Amino acid sequence: MFDIGWDEMALVAVMALIVIGPKDLPVVLRQLGRWTRKARELAGEFQRGVDDMVRESEIQDLKAQVEKVADTNVLRHEIEKAIDPTGDIAKGLEPPVAALPPAEEPLLLPEPAPHEAPGKPPAP
């Protein structure tokens, strides 16, 4: 990550031992570890925030696309334009034929005789 070799790490360790001293070196290293952990947590939180913003913007884009597809007026207009770009067919159509009037007498079916056994002739 920082492109530090073993010889450079050894030099830093020796300098830390000389400057800080052997008594306080473990305390300093522990505190350095805590700072590193905090920095990583902050970086992770920032990354999650950025990911959430990207996800929300993608959701908004998808929502806009769905609303555009769901708009039936635009779709209907496009279909009509593709089928009849000049609109001449719609002008030449006659109105639909009116529905036939209802029959004067309803068709009645004969009712079966009550309790008639199959295979027996009907009673007079």
Write out pLDDT tens, residues 19-35: 888 898 899 989 999 99
Per-residue model confidence as pLDDT tens digits over 34-51:
999 999 999 999 999 999
Residue 71 lies in a domain: yes
The confidence score (pLDDT) of residue 64 equals: 84
Token reading at 116: 């008639």
pLDDT exceeds cutoff 70 at 72: no
More confident position, 6 or 114 = 6
Residue 105 lies in a domain: no
Residue 45 lies in a domain: yes
Number of domains within the chain: 1
Q: Would you list the DSSP string of 71-118? A: -HHHHHHHHHHHH-SS-HHHHHPPPPPPPPPPPSS---PPPPPTTPPT
Cβ atoms of 16 and 25 within 8 Å: the answer is yes
Residue 117 lies in a domain: no
Considering the entire predicted model, what is its pTM? 0.41
Segments forming the whole domain that contains residue 13: 6-88
Query: What is the Cα–Cα distance from 53 to 27, expressed in whole angstroms?
Result: 39
